[in-house]
Each structure stands twice: as C-alpha cells, then as structure tokens.
Amino acid sequence: MSDVCIVGVGIHKFGRTDGVSGLDQGVVAVREALKDAGVEWKDIQFAYGGSDAAGNPDTMVERLGFTGLQFINVKNGCAAGGSALFATSTSIKSGEYDLGLAVGFDKHPRGAFNALPAQYNLPDWYGEAGYMITTQFFGAKITRYMYEHGISPTSLGRVALKAFDNGALAPHAWRREPVDLETIMNAPMVSDPYTKFMFCSPAEGGVALVLASEKKARELGKPLIRLKAATMRTRPAGSFEVFAPSIDIERGGSATRIASRDAFALAGVGPEDIDIAQLQDTEAGAEIMHMAENGFCRDGEQEEWLAEGWSKLNGKLPVNTDGGCLACGEPIGASGLRQVYENVVQLRGDAGARQVAGVPKTAYTHVYGAPGVSAVTILER
Amino acid sequence: MRPIAEGLFTDETPPRLIGGRDRETGRIVFPCPPGDRFAPHPLGRRGKVWSFTIQRFRPKSPPYGGPEAFEPFPIAYVELPGEVIVESRLTNVALDKVAIGMAVELTQIPLDPAVADAPFIHAFQPILEAA
C-alpha cells in the first residue's frame, strides 16, 4: 500500500504570546504549513483539529476561508494531536481524500493545571484534601521507579540540562537559555525529587501539518516524509495514572507500551532502527521512563545513557532534539504535533544549529497523558 | 469531629478505611465506588510506604480546603498487604525521614489543625516499635 506523507509543516512559537488567542496561533501555523506545502487553503479537503482549552478548532474557517471543508474537532487530552494525526492519516489511507490538515493549538493560564475531581469521576473530598495535583503523581511515580531501577537524582538533572541546551538552539522553543546542572539540582523542590527546572509548564502554541497521499505528494514535488505508523492507545489494567486514590498491588503495563509496540509492528521496524526520538517529557523522569517503555533501552540503563550523553544531539539516539516539553512548555492540543513537526524538520535536514548529524532517516514521537492515553508516530524518509 | 466525607471510615475504634471489593473479580479499590459492583471492604490498618513525594506548594482552592498558611506535607502510596495500595498523607514523620518500605499505620488528622471543627482526613504514621 502507498504511504501517507507529510508535505507541509508550520508552527507558532511556543511559550507565552500575550494578545494572540490560541486559535490565532493555530491559524499562523496553518498558513505556514500551507506555504511550506505549496498549496492554498481552498486545496485542503478536510481537517482534524485538537485544542483542550482554547476553543473549537473548526471556527478557524472564519480566519482561513469558508470553503465548506469537513473539519472535525478532537478532544483527547494529551493525545489530541496524535489522535488528529491518526484520523487525518486514515482518512487519506481510505482513499476518500488525498490532501488534509492536522492542526493543534492551545493557550493555558499560568501555573499548574487546575483539575477538579468531578471531571475525573472522583469524589469531591479527594480535591478538598489536596490530592488533585498532577505533580504529586509525577513525584510518587518516579520515586518508585528510581527505587526499583537505580536511577539517581543527577540523571533527572541531566535530562533537564539537555532539554535547555537543545531548546536554546530551537527558534520555536520557549526556554532559550541553557541552565547548568548545579542550578537545576539546587533549585527549590516542587514535588520531590523534582526541582522546578524538572517540570514543564502549561503554555501556548500552535502546530499544523499538511498530509497527502503518496501520489499527491509526488505531484507537489516535496521530499517524501512517510508516516509509517500513527497509533493512539488507552491504558491496560494495573497501570499507574494521575489522580489515583488507590492502585493495584499487581502492577500492569502502560498505554505507552501498547501504543509503541503496535506502532513498531505497523511500521515494520524496531527501536534499534530509529535515528531520533521525541518522548513525552512533561517532567524529567518521564523522559527516562519513556525511553524504556518505548523500547529504546531496558529499565535502569538510562543511568548510563545519561552519564554518557547517548541521548544528546550528537549521541547514538538523540532524544527531544528541540528541548521537548521541558523547554517548549505544554500547550496540550499542540504538544504532540510539535514533536512531529520537529521530526519532519530534522528528516529534511532543515534543523539548523540543532540538526542531528548525518540527517536521520527514521524518527519517532511519543505522547502520554491523563488518564492513561498515549500516541506514537514513526516517520521515514 | 467529622470525617471529610461519609463512607471513608468504619465506625469502630480505631477506625479502618473502607475500600470496595469487586463482587466478581475480588479486586480491591479505595474508596468504595458507588453502585452495586463493589461491596464495602474494611482495609487493614497497617502497611508499608510503596512510594512517596513531598507536596511543596499550596494546592489551588478550589478544590483544596486546607489552611491558607501552607506547610509542606508528605504524600505516600501505602501498600496494604494482600489488598491494595492507597494514596494517603503521612503524619508524625520528618520530611527527610520518609522512605520506601517504612512501616506505617492508619490514623486521622484534621484538614486544618487551627480550626476546631475542621473535617478530618486519613493519614498514615510510622509504627512506633515497642521498646
């Protein structure tokens, strides 16, 4: 079967852009992606759009033009971007369309996400007693992982160090200043063992991707960036998720492991074939756990990986080459598509100062979020 | 003294937490969910710290109902042998003494110690070894 290809990418800078709505940041990204693909808005046959807190994506037609296209909104937590991409891709695979758009944007207030128990099917007392805090979960989850697999606090610091180094080289990143390891380690604790530099912040931004059938992509004359797999999966029994008043003693797998396994099977490649990876790093330990959950190393080997710099830009598997969520922040609807944007730029050899040497041929993305959802993509050129 | 919600504690001294046991699979959860699928199941009072973190900033209100003046507090997942791992505050322990494997038992603490009729919540504290 012929592949679905990514023929255009656009991004609105992540971080804070006062006075510009989330939707308008998405519109900026769409215009850039159209220009990159060499097509016009009227050529786009359909779109899927993801936004968690910044309005209905289909209202973009007021800005982009009333062409009457099919435009479906996606609300799927941290997997919104991945879900939009999956839907766009399968619509083209079905043969119904040959040129479509996946777009994601968001704009969150400053500070931690403010979740209410009822939104998560939890009793009110759980929030009243002080448990509706995502960072608590992240702290408890990595504390257990470090205990079981011998991961040191310094490794958490090294993930953040790398993120800010890479972010400094990425024009779309929010945090553009390197931060040294000592500063990262000695910063105030937020939820132990994480200091404030080891958590990403809710943010703003927009990303758009134009997808085409292989035939259409050849007509457009763009480099063929093939979407070999796009999977979105939910959690199995016994997973450990945010906002859990209790968990099972018998520990299970994770949504990530399922999404990853199925994506590799679809693409017909394995972790050893991947040249670069963007892995969900809402906190430093997430990148560490996700290296193993996605099959790039065994549990515990991350200690050596980080000490040796194997996940740096010049390492054997560069991870989060634009600084990931730690440097870019997390606008939920846009975050997963940012990873794909970064991979397309790297595969084309257009990443400038952060370009991975040798121009990678295969690239992997992974998001994970509440309440146990994960999405993975694999690109090839 | 009143609990923060009905159905969390047994009416005995000392009280136990009330979990829910799946009538078909036997799986135990906390708290006991509404509906018929889970039967109320009093949980053991003693367990071990499975993992933990320290809450270093005041949670946002709403939903948080604790005092305005904030002091960091430990949050743990406590493994109750053969039953379930329960999320709970820890009390009567220094922040730097909390460790995985620490033996703890159930107690109750006021959500706001400065308020006379503040609701109480579940917490675990280190088991004091007999001398």
- Judge whether A198 and A178 are in contact, CB under 8 Å: no
Interior/surface letters A235-261, b for 16+ CB within 10 angstroms, e for the rest: beeebbbbbbbbbbbeeeebbbbbbbb
Residues in chain A: 381
In this predicted structure, the answer to whether residue B131 has a pLDDT above a threshold of 50 is: no
What topology is assigned to A4-110+200-380 in CATH? Peroxisomal Thiolase; Chain A, domain 1 (3.40.47)
Q: How far apart are the first and last CA of chain B?
A: 32
Q: How many CB atoms lie within 10 A of CB A43?
A: 16
Query: Residue A294: which residues within 8 A CB-CB, separation 6 or more?
Result: A256, A260, A271, A277, A279, A364, A366, A376
Q: Is B24 within a domain?
A: no
The closest of A281, A266, A336 to A84, measured between CA atoms, is A336
Indicate the number of domains in chain B: 1
What is the 8-class DSSP label of residue B84?
Answer: E
* Beta bridge partners of residue B87, listed in sequence order: B77
Chain A contacts to B (CB-CB under 8 A)? 111-112, 114, 116-117, 123-125, 127-133, 135-136, 138-141, 143-144, 147, 188-193, 244-249
B62 within some domain: yes
| B86 to A246: CB separation less than 8 angstroms, yes or no | yes
Instruction: Name the nearest CA neighbour of A101 among A121, A84, A126, A115.
Output: A84
Q: How far apart are the C-alpha atoms of A239 and A257, rounded to whole Å? A: 11
Q: What is d(CA B37, CA B33) in angstroms, rounded to the nearest whole number?
A: 8
The structure's pTM equals 0.95
Question: How many Cα neighbours within 13 Å face the side chain of A184?
Answer: 26
Decide if A156 contacts A194 (C-beta within 8 A). yes
pLDDT tens series, chain A, 381 aa: 689 999 999 999 999 999 999 999 999 999 999 999 999 999 999 999 999 999 999 999 999 999 999 999 999 888 899 999 999 999 999 999 999 999 999 999 877 667 889 888 899 999 999 999 999 999 999 999 999 999 999 999 999 999 999 999 999 999 999 999 999 999 999 999 999 999 999 999 999 999 999 999 999 998 999 999 999 999 998 899 889 999 999 999 999 999 999 999 999 999 999 999 999 999 999 999 999 999 999 999 999 999 999 999 999 999 999 999 999 999 999 999 999 999 999 999 999 999 999 999 999 999 998 888 999 999 999
Would you state the structure tokens that stand for residue A288, as one six-digit string? 């560490």
pLDDT tens string A107-144: 998 776 678 898 888 999 999 999 999 999 999 999 99
Cis peptide before B31 (omega within 30 of 0): yes
Within-domain flag for B64:
yes
| Residue B60 CB neighbour total at 10 angstroms | 17
Cα(A332)–Cα(A205) distance, integer angstroms: 9
Measured CA to CA, the distance from residue A343 to residue A351 in angstroms comes to 9
Would you say residue B13 has pLDDT above 80?
yes
The domain in which residue B91 lies consists of: 45-125
What are the chain A neighbours of B30 within 8 Å (beta carbons)?
Answer: 245-246
Are residues B4 and A129, on separate chains, in Cβ contact within 8 Å? yes
Contact B51 A144 (CB under 8 A): yes
CA A117 to chain centre: 25
- Radius of gyration in angstroms for the set of CA atoms belonging to chain A, rounded to a whole number: 20
Q: Give the span between the Cα atoms of A114 and B93, in whole angstroms.
A: 29
- B116 lies in a domain? yes
Predicted confidence (pLDDT) per residue in A202-247, tens digit: 999 999 999 999 999 999 998 999 999 999 999 998 899 889 999 9
* Confidence (pLDDT) at A115: 80
pLDDT of residue A110: 78
Mutate to test the interface with A, among B24, B53, B121 (most CBs of A within 10 A): B53
Number of Cβ within 10 Å of residue B3's Cβ equals: 15
Enter the ipTM.
0.96
From chain B, which residues contact A within 8 Å (Cβ)? 4-5, 8, 19, 27-31, 50-57, 59-60, 62-66, 73, 75-77, 79, 82-87, 89, 100, 111, 119, 121
pLDDT tens digits, residue range B35-90? Answer: 999 999 999 999 999 999 999 999 999 999 999 999 999 999 999 999 999 999 99
pLDDT for the residue B116:
86
Determine the pLDDT at residue A1.
Answer: 63
CB contact under 8 A, B60 and A125: no
Q: Tokens 């997808």: give the residue.
A: A211
End-to-end CA distance of chain A: 16
